[in-house]
Amino acid sequence: MQDTIQYTLDADGIATLLIDLPGSKMNILNQQVLADLSACVETLAADDRVSGAIVASAKSTFVVGADIMELVSAYDRGMTAEQGYAWSQSLTRLFRRMETCGKPFAAAVNGLALGGGLELCLACHYRVLTDDAKALLGLPEVGIGLIPGAGGTQRLPRLTGIENSLPVILQGRKLSPDEALAMGVVHELAPAGETLERARRWLLDKPCAVAPWDAKGFRVPGGAGAMNAKTTQTFMVGTSLLAGQTQHRYPAPIAALSAVYEGCITPFDTGLDIESQYFGQLLSGVTARNIMRSLFVNKGAADKLARRPAGIEKTRVARLAVLGAGMMGAGIAHVSARAGIEVMLLDTTLERAEKGKAHAADLLDKAVQRGRVSRQQSEAVLDRIRPTADYLDLAGVDLVIEAVFEDREIKAEVTARAEAVIPRHAIFASNTSTLPITGLAEASRRPESFIGLHFFSPVEKMSLVELITGEQSSTESVARGLDYIQQIRKTPIVVNDSRGFYTSRVFGTYTDEGMTMLGEGIRPALIENAARLAGLPVGPLAVMDEVTLELGYKISLQAARDQGEGHEFASGFPVLKKFVEELDRKGKRFGAGFYDYPRGGKKRLWPGLADIYPPCEPQPVADEAVRRLLYRQALESARCFEEGVLAQPADADIGSIFGWGYPAWTGGTLSFIDTVGAERFVAECDRLAAEYGSRFAVPEGLRRLARDGGAYYMPDA
């Protein structure tokens, strides 16, 4: 018996390799598992008593891929493309040894098989999958900036045909058991608990131990190569679509497409070699490091509440009060009720509160139509939402979330009225997006129990919640706030109090820079397209229309009132002021903003922009606009870190990617600075400051970091 694999041989000569990684809920292909698997394969290959082998799992799932913790550090360890190629080849040789050792292998797949787990299955001569909707098969490597590196880009197209394989390889699409059977990825489905017996039954029939691609005369189903009209069209269209989707910021999809194309017109072993070459280039590159570190390692730690204060007992919210039944309040009520929480949804009138519940009902109806929940589950969720206009109904709640208008006086009033009723143990959270929590807590009788919980719209889709600690917020309140975020299955970041906190403050620089460029006479189409070239999901003018120019204008005025005589308006404020005060174009909700919104038609940039802000000549190159948008946001994040608003670089990166869509290829705002290099980043900011103004001025801490050759993430961190 190996450390991670239980090896047994029965009287019929069938060896069973039962993978069981100690101390882990799921099996992953780490170095120990791979070493043990290799030893088992060599043992059975040399044993004349063995007539065949079954690869199975002792856990509730099969294998979920390689160890991401081993992969994420490759770039920081200085791994070269050649070393990445060698890493891929070590897996390729192992799976190829299984395939060609002369003994038939059957995979008894009892659950989820992803990435290297599916590649392990594909290297077996026969595959039995449990007939369970949760037993999905997939190759999600593109989502972490890589491609399958153990034969996935070569075996899957040869099994299913190129066209069928590409959504799995390029988009990470997961296959249900029925889909896997129909496509030929597995040979049969078995009831739960019978996969081992079905695999054994196949082996007892003394099958041939030859993979399809090793048989004489094998051809890729549906054809391959430049002389095949259908596949040529598939690759031409696929290349164009990927270029549009990635803007060449994400190298993995193009590498995967290339590996499939080149590999499928060559002998199988040559195709495996081509795959490893592309894999090595990606693993040794910074983009894969950035994506893996921020989207998986750091996000995974946040989801497990890595920032939760120690020594405080875990809590759950049984009853929640949401003050304000608008879109945001209704969204919070909806996601909370779906998590099993009883919700009191309060507004100024019962009619308004009922309207908020109706919004939740609409969301649930759509979920039912898409098959995500049953009608019975939908009704149970709705039953947990109780609309009310009576503050007395808040008695007995564990948590209050205030989601009323961004007005300090209104927030103070609802805080006082709620605290007069709620129990002493309850904590109070404001969903404000900009107003400092410490100031709002002045209206509270117990500021130590007052925190910020900043949700993002639409709540049901956005996974991030920003927890803000005020000057008097207790560690217990922070811990309980984090427990609630985990309970509703959202991802938390923890930031300290300031105006706009972290996400709103930095996001505001994005929209402000877009408006500033418009005011300078840069063509609006260039501004919007530069954002998309950078990898941002929506241009700054379009997103400003979505949140409404009116809201941005009111926030700016509130900041001016709060900060008094020394306040300086942002560089884009004159544009904002003109649109709200003079042009009455306040955003999408009002029917007009930077864009026109014709009824029944597609939105378009307002032609009148050119009259108000005549295009300057010459226009900047697109890359300059890209730099201004990306650098300004990253620079503001550096200021937040230096001022103590952020305590951890991971919070900056997670917040920027999941909060407003800062490009994932960068790893987030602070990872972007590390990717560029602090010294080079500072030099570029100095140039931008000289060209465009002091908003690009570098804070001393970042300049010192550059001078010392440092980074936000040091290699040993």
Average pLDDT (598-623) is 94
Q: Which one from 125, 334, 359, 454 is the annotated catalytic residue?
A: 454
Let me know: does 319 contact 467? Beta carbons within 8 Å. Answer: no
Partner residues linked to 455 by β-bridges: 465
Domain 5-207+218-284 listed as CATH 2.60.40.10: no
The reported pLDDT for the residue numbered 407 is 84
Q: What is the pLDDT of residue 716?
A: 60
Q: What is the mean pLDDT of residues 301-311?
A: 96
Identify the helix (H) or strand (E) that includes residue 496.
Answer: strand 491-496
> What is the model's pLDDT at position 405?
87
Which of the four pLDDT bands, split at 50, 70 and 90, describes residue 580? Answer: very high
List Cα–Cα distances, 437 to 26, 180, 434, 442, 469, in angstroms.
41, 51, 9, 9, 7
pLDDT digits (tens, 9 = 90+) for 449-488: 999 999 998 999 999 999 999 999 999 999 999 999 999 9
Q: To the nearest whole percent, how much of the chain has pLDDT over 70? A: 99
- Which of the residue ranges 104-108, 207-211, 676-680 would you say has the lowest mean pLDDT? 207-211
pLDDT digits (tens, 9 = 90+) for 636-658: 999 999 999 999 999 999 999 99
pLDDT of 226 higher than 80? no
pLDDT tens-digit readout, 12-49: 999 999 999 999 999 999 999 999 999 999 999 999 99
**Whole-angstrom distance, CA of residue 245 vs CA of residue 250:** 9
For the chain, give every residue range classified as CATH 3.40.50.720: 319-499
pLDDT at 668: 97
Residue ranges, comma separated, of all CATH 3.90.226.10 domains in the chain are 5-207+218-284
Helix axes 524-534, 540-547, angle to 10 degrees: 100
Share of the chain above pLDDT 90, in %: 90
CB of 13 within 8 A of CB of 41?
no
Q: Tell me, yes or no, if 454 is annotated catalytic.
A: yes
Give residue 141's pLDDT: 96
pLDDT at 717 over 60: no
Query: pLDDT tens-digit profile of 234-276?
Result: 787 777 777 778 888 999 999 999 999 999 999 999 999 999 9
Question: What pLDDT does 227 receive?
Answer: 65
Q: What is the mean pLDDT of residues 175-183?
A: 97
pLDDT band at 367 (very low <50, low <70, confident <90, very high): very high
CATH of region 504-707: 1.10.1040.50
- Residue 668, token pair as written in the block: 């987030």
Task: Report whether pLDDT(567) > 90.
Answer: no
User: What class has domain 319-499?
Assistant: alpha beta
Is residue 1 over pLDDT 60? no
Q: What is the mean pLDDT of the chain?
A: 94
- The stretch 181-204 carries a mean pLDDT of 96
Name the least confident of 84-98, 164-178, 345-359, 551-565: 551-565
Query: Half-sphere exposure of residue 353, counting CA atoms within 13 Å on the CB side?
Result: 19
Section 709-714 average pLDDT:
94
